[in-house]
Each structure stands twice: as C-alpha cells, then as structure tokens.
C-alpha cells in the first residue's frame, strides 16, 4: 500500500512538471524585432498611400517600394511564436491526463478496496477476475477452472455466469457439492432474481440438488446453510432449524442464518404455545431446537419421563433454574414439545 502511494505521488509530480514546464519557460527574444516592426510599418504606410492614390504617375514608384519592403520582410528569419509554448503546454496537459488516468486505473481501485471490508473487497476482486477466469475455463475445459469461474461469479453476484460455469463443471463431474448446492439455490431463488414464478418441477429439482450436496459434504457449513434455507422454503421448519443450527456449529462466526432462524422461531411461537415458552425460557441454554447449547445439555437425548421433566422445570436442578410460575397450560404445552423431541431424537 505504501509503495502504491509513493508511485502515485511520483506520477502526479511528473504530470504537474509536464504541464508547468512550458508555462514557466520564457518566450524566446526576437533579434530582428526592431527591423521587422519598421518594415511592417513601411508596408502598411505604402499600402495606405496606394489605396488613396490620386496621382497615377506615382503608382509605379510606390509599388516598387512596396515590393522591396515585402521582399525585405520575407528575408528576415521567422519570428518565435508564443503558440509554441501553448502547444507544449497542451501537449503536457494531454500527457498528464494519460498518466493520471493510468495511475487511477492502477492505484485507485486499491484505495477503494482498502476502504471495503474483507468480504466486499474479495467480491470486487472476483468481479475483476471474471473475464480471465472465463477465458481460462473455456480454453482448457478443466473442471477446476470451471469451478473457479463459477465461484468468482457466484460470490460477485454474476449469477448467469455462475449457472453456466457450474453447469459445465457438473457435466465433467456430477458429484461436486459446491456446484450442486449453488445451482440449486439459484434455481430456488430465481423468482427473486427474474420476477418469474417458480415451477413446481424446478422447485423439486432445486431441493434435490441442495439435499444431494448436503449428503456429499455434511461437514461443509454452506451445505447446511443452503439446506436450511431450502427446507424453510418448503415449510419444514423443524428440519430447517436443525440444519441451520448445524451450520452455526460448523461456522461459529457465520451470521448468515440469524434472520431466518429468528423468522422460523417467530412462526413456530405463534403456532405453538409450547415452542413460545421454550423460546422465552429454555432456548438460550438448550439451543433453538433442543439439541443442546453452551450451557444446557441436549433435551432430545434426554430419557427423563414426563413427570421427571415437570419436576426439573418447576423446581430446578443443579445449574438449571426453577420456573414455578409457569401456568398449567404453558407447562403442559412445553412438556408436549419436549416429549416430541425425545421421540425424534438428536
């Protein structure tokens, strides 16, 4: 970065030097200025006399003198022109403009990238690299080249190119999780991109692609993330939460699922009073779907009976606080949820 700033500063200084040098230079002196001025004045005087001449006998003499004056002017060396300085200045401006543009194209993008976050800067770099990545993929026909092109296109939002690149990669090897899940999510979200309705057969195809990718790469955070989005799209909220919580486990710093998890919980809480109680009192310790959290164990793996669960909830146990103020209906709905989760398992 420091080297870039130094080079750009040198370019600017060179540009200013080219512009200002001709303007600083003094106009060269004309050694024949006095004689030139005298002859010009004589020429003008003779022309004026010829124009106003009344005595035609004088015309030959005046014309001879005018011709001699013009010949003397032609014999003088050309006078230095101030236009040369102007031309040099204009040339300097043109060169300076070219250098400034070259500097801007070379260094300004780096300044802009430095002002962006790491993810945004990488997206910009991906977009700038697309032409070369596409040329390389189409020239070599290599699977890895198509994947590199598809990834750069997808990450920079050039989804039409991503579809082409990933489609060609899958023709070479159909068992590629990244290409499968990203093509699936692009197909599933096509209505948002194009405004066209999603056909049922396309929706099923999209879900199949995403699910296959998750089966091929179950430890990949993006596989679980996109699976969660797809499941939520089809109304399978419980399964979606499981996948999204799995994504959070695989990528603790990832925040891409936060809004969807919140929306799913809100939907569940409105429809199920037991889940509403669980979200308010239990989820912070035992996880969004009862699979365990930072403090509390998995409730899905619990083997406690309904009565034992009730006793722990009302009276507390160990680090588990007591909730004696739960109403009978709320407690019954919460126990129904916990029992269902025990049957479903982890």
Cα–Cα distance measured from residue 145 to residue 151, given in angstroms and rounded to the nearest whole number: 10
Nearby residues of 327 by Cβ (< 8 Å), 6 or more positions away: none
Cα–Cα distance measured from residue 6 to residue 17, given in angstroms and rounded to the nearest whole number: 17
Number of C-alpha atoms within 13 angstroms, CB side, residue 131?
1
DSSP state of 199: P
What parts of the chain have a pLDDT lower than 50? 1, 27, 82-83, 85, 105-111, 113
- 303-314 pLDDT, tens digit each: 889 899 899 888
- 236-252 pLDDT, tens digit each: 888 888 899 889 888 88
What per-residue string of b and e applies to 33-65 under the rule 16 or more CB within 10 Å gives b? eeebeebeebbeebeeeeeeeeeeeeeeebeeb
Nearby residues of 240 by Cβ (< 8 Å), 6 or more positions away: 228, 229, 231, 232, 260, 264
CB 207 within 8 A of CB 188: yes
Which tokens is 224 given? 């679980």
What is the pLDDT, as a whole number, of residue 273?
A: 79
Cα–Cα distance measured from residue 328 to residue 191, given in angstroms and rounded to the nearest whole number: 45
Dihedrals φ, ψ of 317, to 5°?
Answer: -165, 125
DSSP state of 320: B
CB 31 within 8 A of CB 116: no
- 182-230 pLDDT, tens digit each: 999 998 888 777 777 878 888 889 999 999 999 999 999 999 999 999 9
What is the pLDDT, as a whole number, of residue 79?
A: 66
**C-alpha separations of 200 from 114, 167, 179, 209, 240 in Å:** 44, 21, 21, 14, 20
Which tokens is 55 given? 């005595």
Quick check: pTM over 0.75?
no
Q: How distant is the alpha carbon of residue 91 from its chain centre?
A: 37
Q: Which residues pair with 320 in a beta bridge?
A: 317
Cα–Cα distance measured from residue 284 to residue 331, given in angstroms and rounded to the nearest whole number: 18
Out of 1.20.120.160, 1.10.760.10, 3.30.420.40, 3.30.1280.10, select the CATH number for domain 272-346.
1.10.760.10
Q: Tell me how many degrees the CA angle 36-39-41 measures, rounded to the nearest 5.
A: 105
Cα–Cα distance measured from residue 147 to residue 160, given in angstroms and rounded to the nearest whole number: 14
What is the pLDDT, as a whole number, of residue 3?
A: 53
What is the pLDDT, as a whole number, of residue 173?
A: 93
**C-alpha separations of 160 from 26, 81, 121 in Å:** 61, 60, 21
Cα–Cα distance measured from residue 237 to residue 263, given in angstroms and rounded to the nearest whole number: 10
What is the pLDDT, as a whole number, of residue 249?
A: 85
What is the pLDDT, as a whole number, of residue 113?
A: 47
What is the pLDDT, as a whole number, of residue 81?
A: 55
Q: Cα torsion at 277, 282, 284, 286 (round to 10°)?
A: -140
What is the pLDDT, as a whole number, of residue 121?
A: 59
């Amino acid at each position: 970065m420091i080297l870039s700033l130094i080079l750009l500063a040198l370019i600017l200084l060179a540009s200013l030097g080219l512009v200002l040098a001709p303007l600083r230079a003094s106009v060269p002196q004309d050694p024949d200025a006095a004689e030139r001025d005298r002859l010009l004045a004589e020429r003008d005087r003779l022309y004026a006399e010829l124009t106003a001449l009344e005595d035609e006998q004088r015309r030959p003499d005046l014309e001879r003198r005018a011709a001699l004056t013009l010949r003397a002017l032609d014999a003088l060396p050309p006078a230095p022109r101030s236009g040369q300085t102007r031309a040099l200045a204009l040339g300097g401006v043109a060169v300076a403009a070219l250098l400034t543009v070259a500097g801007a194209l070379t260094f300004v993008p780096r300044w802009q990238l430095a002002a962006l976050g790491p993810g945004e800067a990488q997206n910009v770099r991906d977009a700038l690299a697309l032409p070369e990545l596409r040329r390389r993929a189409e020239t070599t026909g290599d699977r890895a080249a198509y994947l590199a092109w598809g990834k750069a296109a997808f990450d920079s939002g050039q989804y039409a190119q991503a579809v082409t690149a990933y489609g060609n990669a899958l023709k070479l090897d159909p068992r590629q999780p990244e290409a499968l899940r990203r093509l699936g999510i692009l197909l599933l979200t096509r209505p948002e991109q194009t405004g066209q309705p999603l056909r049922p057969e396309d929706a099923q195809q999209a879900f199949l692609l995403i699910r296959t990718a998750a089966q091929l790469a179950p430890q990949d955070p993006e596989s679980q993330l996109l699976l969660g989005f797809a499941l939520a799209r089809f109304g399978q909220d419980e399964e979606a939460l499981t996948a999204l919580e799995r994504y959070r486990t695989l990528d603790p710093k990832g925040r891409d699922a936060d809004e969807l998890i919140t929306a799913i919980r809100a939907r569940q809480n409105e429809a199920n009073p037991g889940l509403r109680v669980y979200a308010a009192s239990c989820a912070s310790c035992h996880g969004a779907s009862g699979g365990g959290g930072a403090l509390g164990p998995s409730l899905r793996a619990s083997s406690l009976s309904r009565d034992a669960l009730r006793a722990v909830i009302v009276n507390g146990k160990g680090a588990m606080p007591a909730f004696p103020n739960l109403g009978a209906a709320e407690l019954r709905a919460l126990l129904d949820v916990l029992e269902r989760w025990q049957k479903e398992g982890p």
